[in-house]
Structure 1
């Protein structure tokens, strides 16, 4: 149940609400759970959970923007632990209306589509694509000139430019529908303090490569063109990717990480295929107070129809259909991977996708050291650790070698899962 939480703080808050004294009303039926949770206000929050579908669906009157909220998680935990006095009263009108609406939508979706499919106006679609391409071309042409000016004046002069220089250029790229290039421009100020200028030069090289790749897009193969469009921030055609019958394979969910990217929040869920050890990531986005889809359970194997985006380095994937879980199956063993082998994996990935920001990988066995935060392998090679609660990892490792799964960006390794421990200790 806690694996449904959008983040660790929500899981911790839900645990604090699992006291039956905080729930003056608890009701359960084969179709739904509902109850009232007393918060800081005078009126308790009304919480309902639909049990008729395999995916998690919750409605709560609290103002939280997270999904699921702590009240919905706590109600599930109370029911699973059989704590509190549960009755079988009918839900209030507002919850019953929500439940009826969900059922009506599911019945409508289950009926075969009888209306004729709308014909796509090929000419209008072509005009829209031509107009978008013209915008991108103009934006990237201006960007290329701007990059040449930066190099001509020298990288040291870039440190003296005001922040509005980068912000203005990024805004122009947003207007040109090149959001990926705009995000790279906004990252430039983070690289300016480096006296060597190596990181800044490499970063500008990625932007220049975007400009040159777009100018030669007609000569690229389909995987290369798709990779270029993804780097430019063009939306992925998930409908085309998930069309047709897929072949479910056995995958294991290794965890997820949530980060802010501008005005968006993105959740990256990492999986590993049993056959061949392929690593894949599912991206979910949240904006404007909307929540994420239900999280996949950690460290559980299942038959999953996962469609990899067909680029030269296929890593991003889209979920097609509902997974069939095998909660009793043990996690497949992971082969040892040294720090040097991790670097080789990243070099291979960059050779196929020069705009790649991170890969999902495991490394181990390694020993964890706190100062500076590092993981050392059997050969004495060190891996810098970033963004992780190191002391929590040290406590789980208990001074023993461990296998870590996380994200490697070429400079730091952010741990998502410590794998070698039993399920109750994995975090």
Structure 2
């Protein structure tokens, strides 16, 4: 299964991404299906007949009855977006799809390995690297211009700040950088001190550009971290091929983030025996139900396979050894230890924005519209938005509780609170 990032990587331009996202809803498609080699479907068009779309996953290769000259067209991209989100059912392949796949096999014999054609894969990888490097060179010039001309233009641009450069990063097949640029307007309008925060974001982007230029000199894990932040795709099957980490994984929080007409669901887990945090990330089109297979407040006995990088955080769930059961306890962790965990994560990956933590024996305290978690070894500020802090205060009732959440530079964004009963999601 491809990730959404892998789908975006094959897009010919940003306009195709926008058009495909609009077409990735269920009402646009009929007669969908997929197997291990192909995905197919009928997409409603402006005429009376739907467009017949097929993607050969082993190529990849694309066929569509639409008149578009782009390759792949928006219909193929939309179909891949739906398939990567798990919204295309397994089905028996229609004869027309089989005929086309067989004609391709006759021209280019299909390999049975994980990489159907190593030489073709190497050529695609080289072309992508060239496109990404060219895009990052343009980004480097833009970053230098921001420092040379000052940040006053950012205030005048408002929510359009960096938009054109973000679109260029999509064209350059660097979706991670595009997402980082789209976050900049939020920093511009973040209130007092925004110039310092914006300069910090620009500096981190410059650091990423410099690190990418030295990819070949970096150790494997560090290089994988840089590639992940730039937006290079990693196939789920490659991750699942790595050794799994079996543990009793507690689902400590779920948070949905809307972006580009998609819902990114972040599911945070923590291993009971290993104490290791993990992130399971899924994408679904806006307006459709997100993945609910990992409900907050449960424990799952499973093997997790981690994406490459340092620190390794994002994971794919492999073999499940039973059904989820209610979460009633979490291994204790002090506020000081949580802050130290976040510090180590940032030291290993300076682009880390938040880190999943568990903070035990803290009392939520509200004062002057601000909330803090007060414990024996210190106080943690609660992030000013994004969580139901009043529910957390109600569960606590003034007594110590265990709080789970995402710790970042501006404080802890709670995702769950555990009192005397079960973990309550926030």
Task: State the TM-score bracket (shorter-chain normalisation).
Answer: 0.5 to 0.7
Match of 1:274 in 2: 272
Secondary structure in 2 matching 1:388: coil
Measure, in 1, the Cα distance between the counterparts of 2:242 and 2:378. Answer: 49
Equivalent position SS for 2:339: helix
Indicate conservation of the 8 Å contact 2:279/2:315, yes or no: yes
Q: Tell me whether 1:124 sits opposite 2:123 in the alignment.
A: no
Which aligned pairs between 1:81-120 and structure 2 lie closer than 5 A?
117=112, 120=116
Question: Taking structure 1 as reference, are residues 356 and 195 closer, same or farther at Cα in structure 2, changes over 3 Å only?
Answer: closer
TM-score of the two chains, using structure 2 as the length reference: 0.68
What is the DSSP-based 3-state SS (H/G/I as helix, E as strand, rest coil) of the residue aligned with 1:230? helix
- Structure 1 pair 342–294 and aligned structure 2 pair: CA distance change class (3 A): closer
Residue aligning to 2:396: 397
Choose the corresponding residue for 1:148, options 144, 161, 165.
144
Name the SS for the 1:248 alignment partner.
Answer: strand
| Residue number in structure 1 paired with 2:73 | none
Q: How does 1:177-192 map to 2 (within 5 A)?
A: 177-192=173-188
Distance in 2, Cα, partners of 1:164 & 1:196: 16
1:321 to 319, 322, 327: 319
How far apart are the structure 2 equivalents of 1:124 and 1:257? 39
- Pair 246,147 (structure 1): closer, same or farther in 2 beyond 3 Å: closer
Q: How big is the shift at 1:133?
A: 0.9
1:230 aligned residue (223, 228, 248):
228
| In structure 2, distance between residues paired with 1:287 and 1:229 | 25
Larger Rg: 1 or 2?
Answer: 1
**Which residue in the other structure is 1:58 paired with?**
none
Q: Distance in 2 between matches of 1:244 and 1:142?
A: 36
Q: Which residue of 2 aligns with 1:420?
A: 419
Structure 1 or 2: larger strand share? 2
Cα gap change, 1:314/1:244 in structure 2, threshold over 3 Å: closer, same or farther? closer
Shift of residue 172 of structure 1? 0.8
Return the alpha-carbon distance in structure 1 between the equivalents of residues 210 and 89 of structure 2: 49
The DSSP-based 3-state class of the residue aligned with 1:159 is helix
Aligned twin of 2:240: 242
Whole-angstrom CA distance in 1 between matches of 2:135 and 2:302? 40
- In structure 2, the residue matched to 1:388 is 387
Number of corresponding residues: 316
Match of 2:297 in 1: 299
Which residue does 2:260 correspond to in 1? 262
- The offset of 1:144, in angstroms, is 0.4
Q: 1:112-166 CA deviation, whole Å, 9 max, x = no partner?
A: xxx9726722222122111111111111001101111111122344333465451
Question: Do 1:300 and 1:325's aligned partners in 2 also have CA atoms closer than 8 Å?
Answer: no
TM-score by length of 1: 0.67
Q: How far does the alpha carbon of each residue in 1:151-207 deviate from its partner, in whole angstroms, 9 at most, with x for none?
A: 112234433346545111111111111111112112222223544622111100111
Q: 1:376 is matched with which residue: 370, 374, 377?
A: 374
Partners of 1:159 and 1:127 lie apart in 2 by: 43
**Cα distance in 2, alignment partners of residues 375 and 245 from structure 1:** 38
TM-aligned CA distance change 1:210 to 1:148, over 3 Å: same
Q: Conserved in 1, the CA contact under 8 Å of 2:357 and 2:405?
A: yes
Shifted more, 147-156 versus 118-127: the winner is 118-127
> Any unmatched runs of 5+ in structure 1?
1-100, 106-114
SS across alignment from 2:332: coil
- Indicate if the aligned counterparts of 2:363 and 2:401 stay in contact, CA closer than 8 A: yes
CA distance 1:394–1:288, change in 2 (3 Å)? closer
- Equivalent residue for 2:211, pick from 205, 210, 213: 213
Change in Cα spacing, 1:154 to 1:402, as seen in structure 2 (3 Å) is same
Contact 1:274 1:332 in 2 (8 A): no
Query: 1:337 — aligned with what?
Result: 334
What's the offset of the Cα at 1:264? 1.7
Which residue pairs with 1:138 in the alignment? Answer: 134
Cα distance in 2 for residues equivalent to 1:141 and 1:125:
24
Q: Which structure 2 residue ranges, 5 or more long, are not aligned?
A: 1-87, 93-109
Whose relative contact order is higher, 1 or 2, with alpha carbons under 8 Å and at least 6 apart? 2
Instruction: Please identify, of 197-206 and 150-159, the stretch whose mean Cα deviation from structure 2 is larger.
Output: 150-159
Q: Distance in 2 between matches of 1:401 and 1:252?
A: 20
Match of 1:15 in 2: none
Deviation at 1:382, TM superposition (A): 3.8
